[in-house]
Structure 1
Amino acid sequence: MVAQCTIMLSSPKGGVGKSSLARNILVLAARAGHSVTGVDFDQQATLATWTQRRERARSSIPELSAIPVSASSLDDWRGTLKAVRKSEVEVVVVDTPPSIELNLAALVSLSKEADLILVPCQQTQDDVDSVGPWMVRLMEARARAVFVLNRSNRRAKSFGAIRAKLLSVGPVCPVEIPQLEEIPLAAGKGLGVMDLARPSSGETFESLWSYVAREVGL
């Protein structure tokens, strides 16, 4: 059986870009030549719906890589993960719901099975107040987690202050994702940013994948 790594997206705050990062990481991993699959534990099924759009897009763009995503419930996370790990797939990307307080035991247990947990955070104090305690909980569980600044703006005065506050709690990914029109544009077509022709943010996403791949040993 091939070596397999599991990358988990988790945050107690909704709308911070978990599903967006999940689908783009799946695309990046597939473009790097890895076999991939996604697991969507969020009842909104944003990631699973995206892969349905991608399958429709593949009918007109046959060179587009297939990215399977299975929708499941956190109540059966062990069975779901067990089934995925029996498959010959190298990279598993897990999207999770924001309602952490309602699924705390399951999410903490699931986090221990991940090789890397990305905790998206936007550039606001509200986000820091939300994700900080969750990072502490993950670190107490000895899970390997890192903040990812999403929809960031380096020119804003708040950038340095927010990043410093995150660093005081836990590790921060050295690659932040700015507010990009290409992200929703690609998602609406069942694509990742790197599937677009000459994406202007290509270097950002390539850097993100380089970081993630190194962290999980790919």
Structure 2
Amino acid sequence: MTKHPSPSKQSIVMLSSPKGGVGKSSLSRNILVLAAQSGRQVLGLDMDKQATLATWAERRERVRASIPAVSHIPVHRASLDDWRSTLKMARQSSAGFIVIDTPPSIEINMTAILGLCESSDFVLVPCQQSQDDLDSVIPWMRHLKQSGAKAAFIINRANIRTRSYATIRSKLLNVGPVCPVEIAQAEEISLANGKGLGVMDLSRPKNAEAFGALWSYLRQELDL
């Protein structure tokens, strides 16, 4: 029997990292697509001034004009300075699944970022296979743990065949939980993004198994 989402259950997932270019926006839109395809009403909150997630959603709406089967994914542009009222609006909306995309340079408004983290049900901290990424995300995970936020690293643009993958994963595990699903570097991810789509919108995506596993992981962590 298919288990349908409870209309009263609202979950908030936040993508956060002090490091720029780690794939917060890419993961945000693909998670939104996964949630929408599972039958949930979704909402994205784009807190980054670059508005990458919101721009993607606008492209998606243009695609929907010719392909209505593509799921509607609304994204609200917002400012970190106005995070409380934005979060209140989101909680009062009919969305059952909310994804918050945040900017790097979190020290600019640490109070707002920590407030959002503490208000979220789960925080994903993307990290790539480099020492620079480790130097950035490890202190941030310690902050999150001290604040009581439920959080986990996710290794993005991974290459599991390299020695650095095992090294990076081991060092992350010494600090906090690591999502058991890594997202590989894949051309289809950027291809889908450029069209206003997620990987799972594509026909026979090569990374379907990984993204399906990511959704299963999130469902378990959020008790959906």
Aligned residue in 1 for 2:149: 143
In the alignment, is the contact (CA less than 8 A) between 1:128 and 1:162 conserved in 2? yes
Aligned match for 2:35, one of 29, 38, 63:
29
1:47 is aligned to 2:68: no
Deviations 1:146-193 (A, max 9, x none): 000000111101111110000011100000001010110000000000
Aligned length: 218
Stretches of structure 2 that go unaligned for 5 or more consecutive residues are 1-6
Counterpart amino acid of residue 196 in structure 1: L
CA shift at 1:60, angstroms? Answer: 1.1
Q: Which residue of 1 aligns with 2:209?
A: 203
**Aligned position for 2:105:** 99
Distance in 1 between the 2:188 and 2:208 partners?
10
For 1:190 and 1:196, how far apart are their aligned partners in 2? 11
Report matched runs for 1:5-154 at 5 Å: 5-154=11-160
How big is the shift at 1:10?
A: 0.1
2: CA distance, partners of 1:105 / 1:81: 14
Contact 1:36 1:91 in 2 (8 A): yes
Q: For each residue in 1:29-67, what CA deviation from the matched residue of structure 2 results, as whole angstroms up to 9, or x when unmatched? A: 000111100000000000000000000000111111100
2-side partners of 1:89 and 1:107: how far apart? 22
For the residues of structure 2 that align with 1:75 and 1:101, how far apart are their CA atoms?
A: 13
Shift of residue 121, structure 1, vs aligned partner: 0.1
SS in 1 for 2:113: helix
Report the residue type matching 1:54 in the other structure.
R
- The code of the aligned residue for 1:106 comes to A
- Trace 1:151-162 onto structure 2 (pairs within 5 A): 151-162=157-168
Structure 2 counterpart of 1:189, from 186, 195, 201: 195
Question: How big is the shift at 1:6?
Answer: 0.2
TM-score, normalization by structure 2: 0.96
Query: How far is the alpha carbon of 1:135 from its aligned partner?
Result: 0.3
The Cα shift of 1:205 comes to 0.3
Q: Is the 8 A contact 1:122 1:151 kept in 2?
A: yes
Q: Verify the 8 A CA contact 1:6 1:92 in the aligned structure 2.
A: yes
My pick for the range that moved more, 19-28 or 84-93, is: 84-93
Q: TM-score, normalised by structure 1?
A: 0.99
- Structure 1 stretches of 4+ with a deviation exceeding 6 A read none
Matched to 1:66, the amino acid is: H
Give 1:2 deviation, angstroms.
2.0
Distance 2:205 2:16 in 1: 26
Gaps of 5+ in 1: none
CA–CA separation in structure 2 for the residues paired with 1:100 and 1:62: 37
Aligned equivalents of 1:124, 1:167: Cα separation in 2: 15
**DSSP-derived class of the 1:42 partner:** coil
2:184 to 178, 184, 189: 178
